[in-house]
Amino acid sequence: MTQKLQTDRDAIDSIDQQIVALISQRIASARQIGSTKGKHTDLAIRDPKREREVYDRWARIAEQNGLSGYYVGRVLREILSYSRRVQEGYLDQDASGNGHPVTRVGYQGTVNSYSFLAAKKLFSHREKTALEPNSFRTFRAAIDALVAGELEYALLPIENTIAGSLNETYELLKEHDLAIVDEEIWPVEHCLAGLPGSNLNEIFTIRSHPVALQQCQTFLARATWASTEAFYDTAAAAESLMAEGNKAVAAICSEECAHALGLDVLQRGVADQPHNQTRFVLIGRDPEPIDQRLSCKTSLRLALNHREGALAEILQSFAARKLNLTKLESRPKPESPWEYEFYVDLVGHQDDPAVAEAIADARAHTNYLRILGTYPRRGLELDQIPSTAPVHTANGNGDSPESNVPMTAAVSTRERKLPDRTTVQLGSVEFGGSRFVVIAGPCAVENRRQMLDTAQIVRDAGARVMRGGAYKPRTSHDSFQGLGWQGVELLVEAGRAYEVPVVTEVLRTEDVDRVAAVADAIQVGARNMQNYALLRTLGTIDRPIILKRGLSATIDELLKAAAYITAGGNNRVILCERGIRTFETATRSTLDVSSVPVLRHRTGLPVIVDPSHAAGERHLVEPLALAAAAVGADGLLVEVHANPEEALCDGPQAMTADDLKSLMAKLEPIVATHGRTL
């Protein structure tokens, strides 16, 4: 190691100490604010306007110093998350720590298991108590210790975004008179770990918890040279490597666990799905008070009267009071074959009048109803910084837009009463709601550097979704046809790096399932609008579909094409106007902006506009885009390229980074006239 390298590293270490010290000072100030809020119950917990101002200021300062506002913003989001949790301890003097200077918490697994890491995260903000983690081999052993008074709490996983509900936790809640007092969301990021010096190609056995092995089936299927071995815990599987000393054995565990044990990370990201999260519940013997100003969740267990319509009447009790159910799950009653009980999670505090009234109303339709607990609603800390603009309601009367209207009615071409507006969720982004959404990206995926640069351009400009063509239907067979599956992988990699959902086009039914497994949405290009075999296949998948209008298609034909998709059961369709072929030659196509209000009148589906393909020239894209926003489109699909002159496809119509920023700035006042924000 050169002296210069060591000097630079010493400088970084010194700067790191200063950063941590400044974060400590910031959290100390947050504690003071929390103390003030705890004494004044009329003060709101979150101040969205203040958060937005801080976020904008950080981004501005970052860019002035030549840094990415996006990555600096990610740091801020984590700091704000920590600050909010620290402040919770001041809101109710009895809610944090339950009066114990040392809190004994039981969990399943060993040190450095996901449960252990989640417990440390959850109790990091409970500053009135010190965490004493207690390891148990099974869920039941942890609950038995809690019931016996040997623990204050037990932290158990209750559901996973891939594997679903963990039935044993529900059974234990049923068996004992216990209460859910908190929850934690932990991002599960599986890696393959081995002994120092081990080689992936020389691994013959891979061991882990059965659920972890299930979540990594794609990776394991490719590792044909290795067999799998079930273990009772991911961290215990990793620990066993150290005990055995066999370099031919590896474990699937967390990267934190691998580093703590001194193992080498042989491969990251081995899970089938990139978004893998586990929800844990903190279980206590008694309910705990919680400040009603916090975003809360209430869990119920109920058994229905065994008669027709009982469940519908209960759900109506919540719907009538506009309460959001985040989970509704039925479970069999072993003692009564073919009868079921239900577990319900809803947003709200049990003492809130609307929630209390709904529960009281629901009791009349049940044989049994028990409140399992009201507790803080986690997983919100890493949301995007909230907008301060007024919320747009699509039906214009101040009520929330209906999001589950029947799509067969929404795409009908017969004249009838104005259809209700609906929304389509694309990753973390909602189309047709309170935000005007911009999708941006290159016409074609060309290489890894291009996609990472473009992803940063898209994110920094404020666009919410990235597009990129991997399979390109070109008029000339000599033109660049795209990178195919390699292009899909590069697009997805860039989207994950910058946390933006991605959309790409498919041309053949054979590619649908493979692309849908990794992309957040699938685009149907203008040339395929009437590819009915493809449309039918897209109707069977659970992914949003952006359906472009054909080059010579009427509005009626576009709606009929959408009906092919919705008839298959996929109701998440976004219509896209991209210009039609006319006798005019001044532009590539003629953008039919009148189609936007017509479609919004005849269907509840979101409608976006692609001005890039209509324009064909860069200087025309912005005015056409602004016109689309003015007539009420729900969003835009525009092409952007870091170096348009070097683009392999449609470079003349691709916007630059500066062009995109200019467009976003000019869109803001226009979309505001429709009650929306960017």
Mean pLDDT of 585-603: 94
Residue 114 has pLDDT above 80, yes or no: yes
Lowest mean pLDDT among 112-126, 130-144, 171-185: 112-126
Q: Which neighbouring-strand residues pair with 131? A: 103
Residue owning tokens 């072993």: 334
Q: Do 280 and 122 touch, CB atoms closer than 8 A? A: yes
Residue 405 has pLDDT above 80, yes or no: no
> Does the active-site annotation cover 583?
no
Lowest mean pLDDT among 125-134, 167-176, 235-244, 532-541: 125-134
Mean pLDDT of 659-666: 96
Task: Considering only the C-alpha atoms of the chain, give the largest distance between any 2 of them, rounded to a whole number of Å.
Answer: 83
Going from the C-alpha of 147 to that of each of 100, 140, 227, 631, the distances in angstroms are 17, 10, 40, 62
> Bigger pLDDT: 475 or 410?
475
Residue 479 pLDDT: 66
* pLDDT band per the 50, 70, 90 thresholds, residue 474: low
Residue 654 has pLDDT above 70, yes or no: yes
Q: For residue 361, is it left (φ>0), alpha (ψ between -120 and 50) or beta?
A: alpha
Query: What is the distance between the alpha carbons of residues 388 and 245, in angstroms, rounded to a whole number?
Result: 57
Residue 467 pLDDT: 96
> Bigger pLDDT: 477 or 271?
271
Residue 94 pLDDT: 47
Residue 336 has pLDDT above 80, yes or no: no
Buried b (16+ CB within 10 A) or exposed e, 41-66: eeeeeeeeeebbeebeebbeebeeee
Q: Which residue out of 116, 136, 219, 280 is catalytically annotated?
A: 280
Residue 68 has pLDDT above 50, yes or no: yes
Query: What is the distance between the alpha carbons of residues 4 and 562, in angstroms, rounded to a whole number?
Result: 63
* pLDDT band per the 50, 70, 90 thresholds, residue 475: low
* pLDDT band per the 50, 70, 90 thresholds, residue 295: confident
Domains of the chain: 14-88 (1.20.59.10), 98-180+283-376 (3.30.70.260), 190-270 (3.40.190.10), 415-672 (3.20.20.70)
Residue 337 pLDDT: 74
pLDDT tens per residue across span 531-543 = 999 999 999 998 9
Quick one: 107 exposed, middle or buried, by C-beta within 10 A (0-12, 13-18, 19+)?
buried
Residue 353: which H helix or E strand, with range?
helix 353-363
Residue 39 pLDDT: 80
Residue 547: which H helix or E strand, with range?
strand 545-548
Mean pLDDT of 415-430: 76
Structure tokens at 592: 């039919």
Quick one: 13 exposed, middle or buried, by C-beta within 10 A (0-12, 13-18, 19+)?
exposed
pLDDT over 90 percentage in the chain: 63
Mean pLDDT of 282-303: 92
Q: Do 390 and 410 touch, CB atoms closer than 8 A? A: no
> Bigger pLDDT: 404 or 185?
185
* pLDDT band per the 50, 70, 90 thresholds, residue 555: very high
> Does the active-site annotation cover 7?
no
* pLDDT band per the 50, 70, 90 thresholds, residue 332: confident
Mean pLDDT of 161-167: 86
Lowest mean pLDDT among 258-267, 281-290, 418-427, 499-508: 418-427
Residue 381 has pLDDT above 70, yes or no: no
Residue 387 has pLDDT above 50, yes or no: no
pLDDT tens per residue across span 299-327 = 999 988 667 788 898 999 999 999 999 99
* pLDDT band per the 50, 70, 90 thresholds, residue 83: confident
The answer to pTM > 0.85 is no
Query: What is the distance between the alpha carbons of residues 318 and 315, in angstroms, rounded to a whole number?
Result: 5
Q: Which residue out of 278, 366, 454, 504 is catalytically annotated?
A: 278
Q: Do 587 and 614 touch, CB atoms closer than 8 A? A: yes
Residue 125 pLDDT: 74
User: Most confidently modeled of 27-31, 41-45, 391-395?
Assistant: 27-31
Number of CB atoms found within 10 A of residue 201's CB: 9
Residue 409 pLDDT: 41
Return the beta strands (E) in 195-232 as ranges: 205-208, 227-230
Residue 230 has pLDDT above 80, yes or no: yes
Across the chain, what does the average pLDDT equal?
Answer: 87
Lowest mean pLDDT among 554-558, 586-590, 647-651: 647-651
* pLDDT band per the 50, 70, 90 thresholds, residue 69: confident
Least Cα distance to 374 among 277, 288, 502 occurs for 288
Q: Do 262 and 196 touch, CB atoms closer than 8 A? A: yes
* pLDDT band per the 50, 70, 90 thresholds, residue 649: confident
